[in-house]
Amino acid sequence: MTIAAVRTHRLSAPLHTPFVTALRRTTTVETLVVEVVDADGRSGYGEAPQVWQVTGASVAGSEACVRELIGPAVTGRDADDLVARCTEVQRVVVGNEAAKAAVDVALHDLAARRLGVPLVRLLGGTALRVPTDVTLAAGEAVDLAAAARQRRAEGFGVLKLKVGTDAAGDLERVRAVRSAVGNGVRIRLDANQGWTPREAVRVIRGVEDAGLDVELVEQPVARWDLDGLAWVSDRVDVPILADESVFGVRDLVEVIRRRAADMVNVKLAKCGGLHPARTLLDLAAAHGLGTVVGSMMESQVGIGAAASLVGAYGTTAVADLDAAWWLAWSPVRGGLRYEGATVVLPDAPGLGISSVTEVKMQAHS
């Protein structure tokens, strides 16, 4: 069955709470949803989130890439020849991982729909329930403590605390959150490249000496500073999770070669989709690295694909897939839902998405 059209939809949806990290502050999700349509009129969906400060991807840039290069490369080709189509997606353009991810996921979603199975089944798994952490946006200690208590009351057992905006005050922030939730909740830290290597070691050792029981520390230093990342990893006991330092396979190979981190966070919008994401997970496992699957600020489209990957492949630590939970309303019909700290995938073909909401959306063929 041939691919008849590749369409793009621009989405803007508000968050119920501002999302603040060491890199940015946002109150909306700005994203591009890609729709791949076969000759029978079936549609598969994928997503390219706009994240200027992390991937450099924009809605306009991803849309141009899909419309001018990736879309024409797959239109008219066999939708059922999934590996070949995904390989073409990766080869047709340099970079543009978010655009590649959107088309890659849409092709997978369409293939699962054509077979009448959930995407997780197409990927080789059966789990429709995937636990997730929830993020505590960067802020002052008292506000973080209040947010932590609320998230715990809502059923979340793993809290990801955004730090890195102020190294001098970060230990107190961690202390406040631990005091607020007690010992029954896991806490992980994400500095989003906000510390220098020396600051990272100072803060992490302070956390260790205070007995605050932090599960892991994500991307403590600048993404390009692999020597600094390795220097930190060598000097602390808490596992270090590489995020922005690893986009694709070559990045992960270098992290492994330098022993720069203990774990890797795999994100579809960083690596280019489900096809390369599976390679990253296999490579990490082969070299004894821990794994997390995370996301950018995305809708149910991107989170559904990432959760399906976790449902099929698993990870060594709880996934980081709360992004769609932050949305004030859903920009899509159908798809996943949240039950407390669990992403619940629909027992329906593909991602289970029936349409993209027309509100604040522009469609192009």
How far apart are the C-alpha atoms of 210 and 204, rounded to whole Å? 10
Q: Which residue type sits at 151?
A: R
Determine whether 270 is an active site residue: no
List the helix and strand counts (H, then E) for the chain. 13, 16
Tell whether 24 is in a known binding site: yes
Residue among 221, 201, 3, 224 nearest 103 (CA): 3
Given the residues 100, 267, 270, 360, the one annotated as active site: 267
297 is in an annotated binding site: yes
Is 140 annotated in a binding site? The answer is no
Q: Is 295 annotated as a binding residue?
A: yes
Nearest-Å Rg of the Cα atoms of the chain is 20
What distance in Å separates the CA atoms of residue 332 and residue 64, rounded to the nearest whole number?
A: 22
330 is in an annotated binding site: no
Residue type, 103: V
d(CA 46, CA 64): 15
Provide the CB-side half-sphere exposure for 52 (13 A, CA).
7
- Spatial distance between the Cα atoms of 363 and 41, rounded to a whole number of angstroms: 16
Do the annotations mark residue 80 as ligand-binding? no
> What is the spatial distance between Cα 148 and Cα 151, in angstroms, rounded to a whole number?
5
Give the DSSP H or E segment for 144: helix 141-153
365 labeled part of a ligand binding site: no
Nearest C-alpha neighbor of 317 from the set 292, 341, 294: 292
The answer on whether 322 is annotated among ligand-binding residues is: yes
Q: Which of 100, 162, 270, 360 is catalytic?
A: 162
Residue 220 near residue 195 (C-beta atoms within 8 A): yes
Is 162 a residue of the active site?
A: yes
Is residue 355 part of an annotated ligand binding site?
no
Identify residue 275 by its one-letter amino acid code.
H
Distance between CA atoms of residues 66 and 98, nearest Å: 10
Q: Does residue 90 contact residue 13 with C-beta atoms inside 8 Å? A: no
Query: Do 75 and 329 touch, CB atoms closer than 8 A?
Result: no
* Cα-Cα end-to-end distance for the chain: 19
Binding-site positions for substrate read 24, 135, 160, 295, 297, 320, 322
Task: Output the known binding site for Mg(2+).
Answer: 190, 218, 243
Annotated binding-site residues read 24, 135, 160, 190, 218, 243, 295, 297, 320, 322
Catalytic residues: 162, 267
